[in-house]
Amino acid sequence: MQNKSTLAVAILAAVSSGVCAQTTQQDIEKITVTANKFEQAINNTLATVNVIERAQIEQSNLRDLPSLLNTVAGIDVVKNGGFGQKASVFLRGAATKHVLVLVDGVRISDANSGSVSFTNIPLNSIERIEVVKGARAAVYGSDALAGVINIITREAQQHQISLTSGSHNYVAYQQAGHFSSEALSFSFNLGYEDTDGFDVTAKAADMPLDKNHDSDGYTNKNIGFNLSYDSQLAGKLSAQVQYSEGDSDYDSSWGNDAYEFENYTAKLGWDKRYGAVEHYASVSTSQEENTQTGTPKHDVYSTERVEFEYRALYRWSEALQLSAGLSHLNEDLSEASAEFTHSERTNKAIYVGGFFEQGPWLANIVTRTDEYDFHGRANTYTAGVGFKANDTVTFRVNHGTAFRAPTLTHAYVKNSPWYLPNPNIKPEEATNSEIGVSLETGWGHYDVAVFNNKIDKMIVSLPNETGKYVASNINKASMKGVELSAVASAWGIDHRVNLTLLDAKDNSTGKKLVRRPDTSFNYTLSKSWQQLDASLTLQYRSSRPSITLYDSQFNAVERTLGAYTIFSAAANYALFDNIALNARLENLTDREYITAATGIATNGDTLGYVPQGRQAYVGVTVQF
């Protein structure tokens, strides 16, 4: 691991030693985040939090959310091809199902598999993203074993229209706008994307032509709005809605080879301060629906949620704030094509917390109890201590516990040709510890985090004597490592660098967890002239173990997927005050690599999902 990361460490050191006296990044203490469900200075959360702002999204000219998340420290994204294909997001080595993903605080995962349609969330709809790392179940409930990704939707401050064209007949139309009066604010976003795509799985030369030898296209239509009314008497009332629908092709050796999706989130909120207490209440609903097509039989995966939440924040003194909240969440899978003995369940939760800041010392503790129908009670907590040695250095230590409730498929599936229910299945459990230090200087911002995450009672589906799969709590996993990041200005160029060293193991077998690289390195350098800004990005991923593959004789084969480095470039040119040209060139060297294998060719070669090769995108943005 150390040999593979020598270059990365050297670059981090170079940026540290050669920086100028000014940094283009805003002071870290001025960045506020909602990691604990209320606004705090980022250092006061006592957790590692990464923030992606709207300006960063627009400067990068990236076209999809998985590619954007792949630039964050501690995150590695495995895509099964291009636009519209499944994307697995590993946060500090933990799978997507162990990461809670929210849109405006609303859960959006498929309640059965734990998967999230990252690829179907349009970047045009995003104002900012907060990635909060560590066990966060005490604040957010089930699924937050490794962290939380909270996607905050667009709040445009002016009217904007963008047109983009690119490789594989990619076209996109995106628009955002804003209207306001003294108390009323309304912003909207809408978009349309379409591409012919490319063949997303590699084919052996001697493989006969079939339905999978084709381009896998993608279409996404989306619209959303943010509405708020701020009254001194009634408080702040808000409504947030985001909707997207579309379809995509993919490759499958049997059965369906396309899907249609219809996803939405909607939330009504109320926020009011009375004296020393701030009250917040909301009701939200969401749908994550995916219909598998391409054959006469259509399989439907559908999750509908309704949640009510109330929380209060009380300023006890200048040094101490207390928080408390309760929630009622209903999950409904009755619209799915799968059958269940119970297709609906409810979770009730209550939590309390304390947040202390006096002099150089920081401390917080939150404890929560959740009660899921059929699965019993889960009690979790998170606690942290911080010390501000001076205006430059902040130390932090935190520890927490988390859980993931079993799915209704695990416990109550019926009439399935593949699965049998296990009504005695228990929640997965996790403990997470972290030590970190953050430096904010006139030369830039630097952060180091050392983490150790353990997951017990992991649910694995194994075949029984009938050949059907039954879920059991038998696995354990550990994910430990180091994250280093730097944002600084050196030699007249802005540098954004992060390095993650990871040791992720299946403790039941002693083997490395599949599809996780042990070294991930991202480096973006950018420079602005009068009308032009340009950036160059390097991404390095070390080798990773593949899932078990099978050759033509059905023999199990273990393979390691090779390391790779890719380069991409982006540029924006202000043609006039309100018109800008933009471009992005993805994978400059047209590097071929595999992050997820699919099988073994007859000649022994490893086959896998085809990543995006060299691709170009150009566009124009008009503001008015």
pLDDT in tens, 369-409: 999 999 889 999 999 999 999 989 999 999 999 999 999 99
> Which residue type occupies 454?
K
Mean pLDDT value of segment 168-177: 97
Nearest to 426 by CA among 469, 376, 380: 376
Task: Give yes or no for residue 587 having a pLDDT over 90.
Answer: yes
Q: What percent of the chain has pLDDT over 90?
A: 82
Could you give the 3-state DSSP secondary structure of residue 516?
A: coil
CA 61 to chain centre: 18
Mean pLDDT value of segment 160-181: 97
**pLDDT band (50, 70, 90) for residue 142:** very high
pLDDT at 5: 43
The answer to whether 132 touches 47, Cβ cutoff 8 Å, is yes
Give the DSSP H/E element, type plus range, for residue 77. Answer: strand 75-79
Instruction: Supply 38's token pair.
Output: 């209320």
Instruction: Supply 103's token pair.
Output: 């849109």
> Which sequence spans correspond to the domains of the chain?
6-623
**Spatial distance between the Cα atoms of 243 and 329, rounded to a whole number of angstroms:** 21
**Spatial distance between the Cα atoms of 335 and 305, rounded to a whole number of angstroms:** 12
pLDDT at 107: 97
Give the Cβ contact number of residue 575 at 10 Å: 12
Mean pLDDT value of segment 554-583: 95
pLDDT at 18: 38
pLDDT at 75: 98
> Which residue type occupies 214?
D
Place of tokens 């808000």: 238
pLDDT at 29: 45
Average per-residue pLDDT for the chain: 92
Instruction: Supply 105's token pair.
Output: 């605080």
DSSP class per residue in 274-293: ETTEEEEEEEEEEEEEEEEE
Task: Give yes or no for residue 22 having a pLDDT over 50.
Answer: no
**Spatial distance between the Cα atoms of 427 and 457, rounded to a whole number of angstroms:** 7
pLDDT at 208: 81
pLDDT at 4: 41
pLDDT at 20: 36
Task: Give yes or no for residue 1 having a pLDDT over 60.
Answer: no
Comparison of pLDDT for 7 and 180, the residue scoring more: 180
Mean pLDDT value of segment 349-375: 96
pLDDT at 17: 38
Give the Cβ contact number of residue 515 at 10 Å: 20
**pLDDT band (50, 70, 90) for residue 330:** very high
The answer to whether 141 touches 382, Cβ cutoff 8 Å, is no
Q: Is the dihedral of CA 273, 275, 276, 281 positive or negative?
A: negative
CA 14 to chain centre: 30
**pLDDT band (50, 70, 90) for residue 30:** low
The answer to whether 114 touches 90, Cβ cutoff 8 Å, is no
Comparison of pLDDT for 206 and 613, the residue scoring more: 613
The answer to whether 581 touches 620, Cβ cutoff 8 Å, is yes
The answer to whether 148 touches 400, Cβ cutoff 8 Å, is no
The answer to whether 62 touches 72, Cβ cutoff 8 Å, is no
pLDDT at 16: 41
pLDDT at 155: 93
pLDDT at 212: 81
Comparison of pLDDT for 464 and 617, the residue scoring more: 617
**pLDDT band (50, 70, 90) for residue 321:** very high
Lowest average pLDDT, out of 41-45, 136-140, 405-409, goes to 41-45
Mean pLDDT value of segment 597-608: 91
Task: Give yes or no for residue 285 having a pLDDT over 50.
Answer: yes
Mean pLDDT value of segment 429-446: 94
Domain 6-623 has CATH 3.40.190.10: no
